[in-house]
Structure 1
Amino acid sequence: MSRRQLVADAVCVIVALLVAFPLYWMVLSALKPAGEVLTRDPRPWTAAPTVDSFRRVLDVESFGRYFVNSTIVAVLVVACALLISFLAAVALTRFGFRGRTVLVVMLLVAQMVPVEALTIPLFFLMRSLGDVAPAFGLNRLGALVLVHLAFSLPFAIWMLRGFVAAVPSDLEEAAALDGAGRLRFTWQILFPLVAPGLVAVSVVAFIHAWNDFLFAKTFLISGVDNRTLPLGLLVFFKPEEQDWGAIMAGSTLMTIPVLVFFILVQRHLVAGMAGAVKG
């Protein structure tokens, strides 16, 4: 092995450790006794691990409800984003129409707008929308689904365009000669071929929807029935003292579904990211 390869491997290991350290510290803090969490001399280990912090989190009556709400929002965002972005990518790639280039550029520009700059306008928009469609108004999970979908679609469509464009048009012509219509070709041939891209899009959309705090805090302004997990952690932020052990335990429990989802799709995710770079 060359010296250059050794240096590259060492840099990769260092970067991986730096990325993994916050996760390690989160889990460690969740397992530490309360006295060790609040000490002024923190240590990167504990001699007396305990699950008391996890018990306090699970003892919260509405924690299960928060988990269900986060799951509903994330699943709906992923499902809608995959369907809409796939159809939009097909339309932008396979069909020629006036304004197509402008629309593609607008998708790219939309990704450059900071989320914080649109939060307040979206708040007033959702408040007005609630008068017409209550399911998408303030204090409703539908508002979160709609907003996350709006922010996920530009990236999803832009990524899937490369995958759809990579499928040769000769394949569609061959399918047409065999009697397959455009609809059948789209769902039975094209859809499986762009599956790696769909997986990559689903991971990004799921993580954004699952970990969101800003939009949840903005649009779910009252009540506890529709809170998501990030908002549920506010229970442990008390005016007089914060329960950091429970906060870290809740954060650890929040991370588990993301890790499980990532492990299940990691092979397809690597292929999807590679395809996006090529596209």
Structure 2
Amino acid sequence: MNKTRGQRIALNTIGVVVAVLFAFPTYWMITSAFKPSNALLSLDYDLVPLSVTLDNFVSALEQPGFTVHLTNSLIVTLGAVACSLVAGVLAAFPLARLRFRGRKGFLLLVLIAQMAPMEALFIPMFLLMQDAGLLNQLPSLLLVYFAITLPFTVWALRGFVQGIPYELEEAAMVDGCGRFGAFRKVVLPLLGPGLVATSVFAFITAWNEFLYALVFMRDSDKQTLPVWLSTFKTVFGTDWGGIMAASVLYALPALIFFLLVQRKLVSGATAGALKG
């Protein structure tokens, strides 16, 4: 059923309004990062800064521990994403293609693990890492983030594998490929969009996590960027300009990661069909 011009205009207007509402906090954070201190504390809400300064970014970068915390965040986040993708692909393929006893029960457990809130797993995770002697060690955060992101990765990639026609694998095996060869040359390239979607979710989940990083890491030089952001609020007040600038710097790695992987959305959707 074709929509009238008035309906399209109304829907587009609603879409623009919703987009503006969601984008405004980010816009306010970015503009506030460039405002001088007196403008930040002013009662006038200037949507466009009347004066621009980089002092807030200088203050943020001079805050102790930025480089160390950034390195720690990159290590645990990228490590968790890589482990989650590898384990997720290896689990999703047999769950989508094979039929074995206990398969539905295992899928139910994966779904339950995905629905469980992170806070509910805090005490068991803490006791587990304490018994393993991994508290105050970066591998503990990597394992926690891996465990948190894996259920969603398995569940999502299973859906993507099911969306790939099995006839493509059969055709590859007829041409001489084994099952692993068909998986590598046909299924894996076609999983590009799924790998991108799940990797972005895993990256954002691990990158933004605060509670585990705060409690598990006792030494400040082993904590991550979300904990570093909390150092701008002290008993003497909050450095609003510094925390806004730090938030912009904090968001850049996630943006860069998305820009790097989003190219695979289109190329991954067509590459597998050209091989075999």
The corresponding residue for 1:145 is 142
Q: Deviations over 1:101-157 (max 9, x none)?
A: 111111112222122222222222211122xxxxxx111111111111111111111
Q: CA deviation at 1:53?
A: 0.8
Q: Which amino acid in structure 1 is aligned with residue 252 of structure 2? A: I
The corresponding residue for 2:12 is 9
The corresponding residue for 1:99 is 102
The corresponding residue for 2:40 is 37
TM value normalised by structure 1: 0.89
1:269–1:20 Cα change, 3 Å: farther
Q: Which amino acid in structure 2 is aligned with residue 105 of structure 1? A: L
Q: CA deviation at 1:59?
A: 1.5
Residues 1-279 of structure 1 aligned to structure 2 (within 5 Å): 2-130=5-133, 137-220=134-217, 222-266=218-262, 268-269=264-265
How far, CA to CA, are the matches of 1:45 and 1:151 in structure 2? 40
How far, CA to CA, are the matches of 2:266 and 2:17 in structure 1? 21
Q: Which amino acid in structure 2 is aligned with residue 68 of structure 1? A: T
Q: Check whether the contact 2:192–2:267 (CA below 8 A) recurs between aligned residues.
A: no
Q: Which amino acid in structure 2 is aligned with residue 192 of structure 1? A: P
Q: Which amino acid in structure 1 is aligned with residue 238 of structure 2? A: Q
Q: CA deviation at 1:240?
A: 1.4
- The answer for unaligned runs of 5 or more in structure 2 is 269-276
Q: Which amino acid in structure 1 is aligned with residue 153 of structure 2? A: A
Q: Deviations over 1:203-229 (max 9, x none)?
A: 000111111112211211x21221111
Q: Check whether the contact 1:200–1:268 (CA below 8 A) recurs between aligned residues.
A: no
Q: CA deviation at 1:64?
A: 1.0
How far, CA to CA, are the matches of 1:101 and 1:20 in structure 2? 41
Percent identical among aligned pairs is: 46
Q: Which amino acid in structure 1 is aligned with residue 222 of structure 2? A: N
Q: CA deviation at 1:44?
A: 2.7
How far, CA to CA, are the matches of 1:237 and 1:149 in structure 2? 30
In structure 2, the residue corresponding to 1:225 is in which secondary structure? helix
How far, CA to CA, are the matches of 2:89 and 2:128 in structure 1? 27
Q: Which amino acid in structure 1 is aligned with residue 118 of structure 2? A: V
In structure 2, the residue corresponding to 1:49 is in which secondary structure? coil
How far, CA to CA, are the matches of 2:259 and 2:166 in structure 1? 34
How far, CA to CA, are the matches of 1:143 and 1:112 in structure 2? 22
TM value normalised by structure 2: 0.90
CA-atom RMSD in angstroms? 2.0
Q: Which amino acid in structure 1 is aligned with residue 195 of structure 2? A: L
- The answer for unaligned runs of 5 or more in structure 1 is 131-136, 273-279
Q: Which amino acid in structure 1 is aligned with residue 68 of structure 2? A: R
Q: Which amino acid in structure 2 is aligned with residue 147 of structure 1? A: V
Q: Check whether the contact 1:144–1:215 (CA below 8 A) recurs between aligned residues.
A: yes
Q: CA deviation at 1:78?
A: 1.2
